[in-house]
Amino acid sequence: MTSTVAPRPAQCFRLDSSPAPARQARRAVRENVEARGLCCSDPAIGECTDTLLLIVSELVTNATRHSHGPQEMRIAWDGPEITLEVDDDTPAVPCVRPASERGETGGFGMDLIDQLARAWGTRPRPGGRTGKTVYVCFVFPAPAV
């Protein structure tokens, strides 16, 4: 499931290439969700937050594994939809691998993102910089009243 356009994210986070950029990204996303007033004690919101944290872990891990590491992450909200963007320095575009190409060393990440996200895609990095941006759109349910 891919889309060609994603809204321009509002908040930027620099991600260090070591020691744990995925942990940095998860922390930033969790804090962003909480700052939005979404309460993880609501079971539906908690489950969605966990799913979103898995998605951001996959995005950042892919950038770490297949490039010189993630450069920047951006987060934007449009109502209940959150868009995450992760930049890296390689133009190689991620894809969902056929089941026959997945195995002990990986190949499951983009399939997982494809199944869990509302949409995802890639585009050149902003500002003419080398590499790409991978973005994911994910929708939260309305909080329980």
pLDDT digits (tens, 9 = 90+) for 5-16: 455 446 888 887
Helix or strand or coil: residue 84?
strand
Listed residue (3, 8, 55) closest to 29, CA to CA = 55
What's the whole-number mean pLDDT along residues 63-77?
87
Q: What is the pTM of this model?
A: 0.84
Burial (CB < 10 A; 0-12, 13-18, 19+), residue 53, is middle
Query: What's the CA gap between 120 and 82, in Å, rounded?
Result: 12
Who has greater pLDDT, 144 or 98? 98
Question: Residue 4 pLDDT > 70, yes or no?
Answer: no
Q: What is the pLDDT of residue 3?
A: 46
Instruction: Tell me what the pLDDT averaged over the chain comes to.
Output: 85
Question: Residue 18 pLDDT > 70, yes or no?
Answer: no
